[in-house]
A and B are shown apart, each in its own frame.
Chain A
């Protein structure tokens, strides 16, 4: 799978680990991120997205 990398670094022992590691970290990071973001409550998201505004300011509080 990672021939294009291995070809140039074949003298490094087990060089595939760099490529596999980066792809693995990337996948885990994003899947966990997406799941956790999906689980956020709507009420909380509303509060957070209104942080730049003072209470007195009129704004449309609907998000998403």
Chain B
């Protein structure tokens, strides 16, 4: 048959590669900055918090979003655009779509980098970006999918290699996750409330959050592993059969695992149990994949000593193995009771992000760039130094965080012989500072390594010339294909990318539907509590400030049913207490104490205490790592959106009275005046119009609902 000549588009691969390097540096630099903010929490220039835009609470989401969507996101597209063309023996479907995809994605990242420091957020971890950006992500994701499927359809290679399955599953699942998580009701052109409330919002969030890890940080990178490791080792994957089992079992099981983020919370127990069972089972496909990756190097282990690409890849796959062993263990209730809310989880995710994603990206870049520029890597020695700096950086990062996590948990749970809690929360915070400092050292080493890579790749690029259009030849695919009798099922599915996509979709929807639907449809899942009432207008405004400042990044609002928690924070949290929380704010980390009952019981402080604490946290809690929120004392509360907020909440089912949007303002002013006059009795003179008044109102409301009646009424 006549062979066709065509050209691979290397320019788009180069663009994404540059983007992953640049955004990687930015994301890691922000990470290092926020790590150091916990060591030097004072306002700039005495510390590293620059209020309001660069306080910890606003920068932490910037760090996570930058690393996940900018660094890893561009890393995915680099690898996909390179390998897909070669595996399909075709140029990308449309240069124009590639171009729109590239610039669209970078614009989304820039928009995120602007909006997050401005406090424009939805307050859901890894789903913080505001609704117009969510719409843009949807459009650009469709462009990516269109370009990918276009390429697959016009391919010259009959079969779809296993890497492409992972890319297809990534595309489909991320689309589903993004659409479900973005269920929100806009009330202005920048702001919205989550459609879901309380427990349901929590379940959607962690179904999304966990699967963002699964289908953004894992499956596409497994696809890259199945392409780049064999290429770098110059030998085929260890077992292709294992890769088939790995693929289908991984995508089937992953989608169920989300509820393990919510163990011992107010989430219905059946959903927690499903999450645990599937999380534990996940170890098998994950390790199947890891073993398949590592054994691809069978007979080539001697090369790992000299080949820097392989070194990075081996550490990446090993880190994947460690993280995916730890994940199922952390999903066990007994382990979760110790690890949840502590720095242990921070260590766990960084083994994944720095080890798996980071090292595989670096290995891929060191392999790709010299090939596309038809030259050799500028310095192998520098790349080796990078390797050791990264590896040591991960160790110096992870060990202090594991240590910190175990210590935190032990200190939180420690009772004296007299039966009282041994440590105040603040004591546990100040004890952590040396660990936070050591972690910063690990992060610095890792970042310095990346800067070595930037220099090395820069010199490599300067020494070569980009082959923008790389010539290739292949015979076209025969249009007609005779189906043989007794043809293997996978042969059929591998030829049919659309059917493949549909089958992947069905597989991931099974878990999603069984997990989410009962909680949504069945009222009995969330027992209602008659004394729980909607937030007052001032509390609602205060809550929006709480979300805006990212308080959830350090404070949970979910008391688990342990004696150590009920002693410290009060009665454990009930599902029915959160029915008006759009979005939920349970949090996932306790750098500061839980606030679920900050307005009642042991934790109750007067308004004056909160005022002084927001102005200068360390004046009330010596050694606190919380940033100063003195700007809340100066800025007036913007109440122009209040009617729109009340109307949006009503649409979402919050039972405000009819026409309340018109009366809300008067209630807000009345409550503001009450708080400002109570502050006056504490020798604090402040206008009732300041933001801090609203935030105090919200904090004082927290957890008070169930103590309103003398006898709380539960239907269970």
CA of A41 to CA of B241 in the docked complex: distance in angstroms?
10
> Quick check: B245 and A34 within 8 Å, CB to CB?
yes
Which residue of chain A lies nearest to B235 when distances are taken between CB atoms in the complex? A60
Given contacts A9-B518, A39-B488, contact A4 B231 (CB under 8 A): no
A51 at the interface (CB under 8 A from B): yes
Interface stretch, picked from B167-175, B265-273, B374-382, B705-713, is B265-273
Within 8 A of B (CB), among A17-61: 18-19, 21-22, 25-26, 29-30, 33-34, 36-41, 44-53, 57-61
B10 at the interface (CB under 8 A from A): no
How many A-B contacts if CB must be within 8 Å? 114
Query: Out of A4, A6, A12, which one reaches B522, CB within 8 Å?
Result: A12
Within 8 A of A (CB), among B131-188: 157, 159, 161-163
CA of A61 to CA of B236 in the docked complex: distance in angstroms?
7
Given contacts A5-B270, A44-B488, contact A18 B518 (CB under 8 A): yes
> Quick check: A26 and B252 within 8 Å, CB to CB?
yes
> Quick check: B240 and A49 within 8 Å, CB to CB?
yes
CA of A39 to CA of B227 in the docked complex: distance in angstroms?
24
> Quick check: B514 and A9 within 8 Å, CB to CB?
no
Query: Out of A7, A12, A21, which one reaches B269, CB within 8 Å?
Result: A7
Query: Out of A4, A29, A39, A61, which one reaches B273, CB within 8 Å?
Result: A4
Which residue of chain A lies nearest to B240 when distances are taken between CB atoms in the complex? A49
User: Which residues on the A side are within 8 Å of B489 (C-beta)?
Assistant: 36
> Quick check: A30 and B270 within 8 Å, CB to CB?
no
Whole-angstrom distance between the Cβ of A36 and the nearest chain B Cβ: 6
> Quick check: A48 and B240 within 8 Å, CB to CB?
yes
> Quick check: B234 and A59 within 8 Å, CB to CB?
yes
CA of A50 to CA of B236 in the docked complex: distance in angstroms?
6
Whole-angstrom distance between the Cβ of B334 and the nearest chain A Cβ: 15
> Quick check: B514 and A18 within 8 Å, CB to CB?
yes
User: Which residues on the A side are within 8 Å of B249 (C-beta)?
Assistant: 30, 33
User: Which residues on the A side are within 8 Å of B488 (C-beta)?
Assistant: 36, 39-41, 44
Query: Out of B161, B273, B522, which one reaches A48, CB within 8 Å?
Result: B161
Of residues B161, B256, B270, B273, which shows the largest number of chain A Cβ atoms within 10 Å of its Cβ?
B270
> Quick check: B235 and A4 within 8 Å, CB to CB?
no
Query: Out of A5, A19, A25, which one reaches B510, CB within 8 Å?
Result: A25
Query: Out of B83, B248, B490, B524, which one reaches A9, CB within 8 Å?
Result: B524
Q: Number of B residues whose C-beta is below 8 Å from A?
A: 43
User: Which residues on the A side are within 8 Å of B518 (C-beta)?
Assistant: 9, 12, 15, 18
> Quick check: A49 and B234 within 8 Å, CB to CB?
no
CA of A15 to CA of B299 in the docked complex: distance in angstroms?
53
Which residue of chain A lies nearest to B472 when distances are taken between CB atoms in the complex? A54
Whole-angstrom distance between the Cβ of A37 and the nearest chain B Cβ: 5
Of residues B83, B230, B236, which shows the largest number of chain A Cβ atoms within 10 Å of its Cβ?
B236
Which residue of chain A lies nearest to B164 when distances are taken between CB atoms in the complex? A51
User: Which residues on the B side are within 8 Å of A6 (C-beta)?
Assistant: 270
CA of A21 to CA of B87 in the docked complex: distance in angstroms?
38
Which residue of chain A lies nearest to B249 when distances are taken between CB atoms in the complex? A30
CA of A61 to CA of B234 in the docked complex: distance in angstroms?
10
> Quick check: B86 and A52 within 8 Å, CB to CB?
yes
> Quick check: A49 and B237 within 8 Å, CB to CB?
yes
User: Which residues on the B side are within 8 Å of A57 (C-beta)?
Assistant: 234
User: Which residues on the A side are within 8 Å of B234 (C-beta)?
Assistant: 57-60
Within 8 A of A (CB), among B486-525: 488-491, 507, 510-511, 514, 518, 522, 524-525
User: Which residues on the A side are within 8 Å of B291 (C-beta)?
Assistant: none
User: Which residues on the B side are within 8 Å of A25 (C-beta)?
Assistant: 510
> Quick check: B236 and A40 within 8 Å, CB to CB?
no
> Quick check: A9 and B270 within 8 Å, CB to CB?
yes
User: Which residues on the B side are within 8 Å of A36 (C-beta)?
Assistant: 488-490
> Quick check: A63 and B236 within 8 Å, CB to CB?
yes
> Quick check: B268 and A63 within 8 Å, CB to CB?
no
Which residue of chain A lies nearest to B518 when distances are taken between CB atoms in the complex? A18
User: Which residues on the A side are within 8 Å of B86 (C-beta)?
Assistant: 52
> Quick check: A21 and B514 within 8 Å, CB to CB?
yes
Whole-angstrom distance between the Cβ of B43 and the nearest chain A Cβ: 47
> Quick check: B240 and A63 within 8 Å, CB to CB?
yes
Whole-angstrom distance between the Cβ of B485 and the nearest chain A Cβ: 15
User: Which residues on the A side are within 8 Å of B510 (C-beta)?
Assistant: 22, 25
Whole-angstrom distance between the Cβ of A29 and the nearest chain B Cβ: 6
Interface flags, B642-675, vs A, CB<8A=1, else 0: 0000000000000000000000000000000000
Whole-angstrom distance between the Cβ of A43 and the nearest chain B Cβ: 12
Whole-angstrom distance between the Cβ of A63 and the nearest chain B Cβ: 6
CA of A39 to CA of B217 in the docked complex: distance in angstroms?
32
User: Which residues on the A side are within 8 Å of B490 (C-beta)?
Assistant: 36-37, 40
B680 at the interface (CB under 8 A from A): no
Whole-angstrom distance between the Cβ of A54 and the nearest chain B Cβ: 8
Given contacts A9-B524, A52-B161, contact A22 B236 (CB under 8 A): no
User: Which residues on the A side are within 8 Å of B507 (C-beta)?
Assistant: 29
> Quick check: B241 and A40 within 8 Å, CB to CB?
yes
Query: Out of B83, B159, B491, B514, which one reaches A22, CB within 8 Å?
Result: B514
Which residue of chain B lies nearest to A23 when distances are taken between CB atoms in the complex? B277
Whole-angstrom distance between the Cβ of A1 and the nearest chain B Cβ: 12
B609 at the interface (CB under 8 A from A): no
> Quick check: B248 and A33 within 8 Å, CB to CB?
yes
Given contacts A18-B514, A40-B490, A51-B157, contact A8 B236 (CB under 8 A): no
B238 at the interface (CB under 8 A from A): yes
Which residue of chain B lies nearest to A10 when distances are taken between CB atoms in the complex? B524
CA of A61 to CA of B484 in the docked complex: distance in angstroms?
26
User: Which residues on the A side are within 8 Å of B107 (C-beta)?
Assistant: none
> Quick check: A4 and B270 within 8 Å, CB to CB?
yes
User: Which residues on the B side are within 8 Å of A5 (C-beta)?
Assistant: 269-270, 273-274
> Quick check: A64 and B241 within 8 Å, CB to CB?
yes
Whole-angstrom distance between the Cβ of A58 and the nearest chain B Cβ: 7
B111 at the interface (CB under 8 A from A): no
User: Which residues on the A side are within 8 Å of B83 (C-beta)?
Assistant: 52
CA of A40 to CA of B488 in the docked complex: distance in angstroms?
7
Which residue of chain A lies nearest to B269 when distances are taken between CB atoms in the complex? A8
User: Which residues on the A side are within 8 Å of B270 (C-beta)?
Assistant: 4-9, 15, 18-19
Given contacts A8-B270, A26-B252, A33-B245, contact A49 B514 (CB under 8 A): no
Whole-angstrom distance between the Cβ of B25 and the nearest chain A Cβ: 30
> Quick check: B524 and A63 within 8 Å, CB to CB?
no
Which residue of chain B lies nearest to A60 when distances are taken between CB atoms in the complex? B235
19 sample A-B contacts, Cβ–Cβ < 8 Å, listed by A number: A8-B268, A8-B270, A11-B522, A12-B518, A12-B524, A19-B274, A22-B256, A25-B510, A37-B245, A39-B488, A45-B241, A48-B162, A49-B230, A52-B86, A57-B234, A59-B236, A61-B236, A63-B237, A64-B239
4 interchain residue pairs of minimum CB distance: A5-B270, A49-B236, A11-B524, A49-B240
- A contact residues vs B (CB 8 Å cutoff): 4-9, 11-12, 15, 18-19, 21-22, 25-26, 29-30, 33-34, 36-41, 44-53, 57-61, 63-64
Assuming A4-B273, A40-B241, A63-B237, what are 13 further A-B pairs, CB within 8 angstroms?
Answer: A5-B273, A7-B269, A22-B511, A33-B248, A40-B244, A44-B491, A49-B236, A52-B227, A52-B230, A53-B236, A58-B234, A59-B230, A59-B235
